[in-house]
Amino acid sequence: MRISTVREFRDKATGLLRSRTPILVTRRGRLAGIFFPRPEITLPIELKRELYDMLSSDVARQLKRRKVSEDDVLKDFEASRKKRRAARRRR
């Protein structure tokens, strides 16, 4: 697995995406994205579980730091959905 910064990934995207290894993209030392360049590469279930645990705990930590509850997130999604639907109706 290769680790790349956002800037490096942007500048060398075509070459990185042609490689055969998954790429972890970081921004300021934190995970920003994961790219799997080749469809024939399948991740072992253990790695998928580890990535899921790591990402979900990071999201939970950020929500806790900002003092945002699950209900707040759900209300925000619902408001965003209503706003998007209303905008579509106006067209």
pTM: 0.46
DSSP string computed for 13-51 = HHHHHHSSS-EEEEETTEEEEEE---TT----HHHHHHH
User: What's the mean pLDDT in 72-87?
Assistant: 89
Report the alpha-carbon distance of residue 71 to residue 47 in Å, rounded: 30
Q: What is the pLDDT of residues 23-75, one digit of tens each?
A: 889 998 888 888 876 666 577 888 888 888 988 999 899 999 999 998 998 99
Residues 11 and 34 in one domain: yes
Domain total in the chain? 2
pLDDT for the residue numbered 38 = 60
Residues 47 and 91 in one domain: yes
pLDDT for the residue numbered 18 = 80
Domain interval for residue 50: 43-91
Residues 1 and 19 in one domain: yes
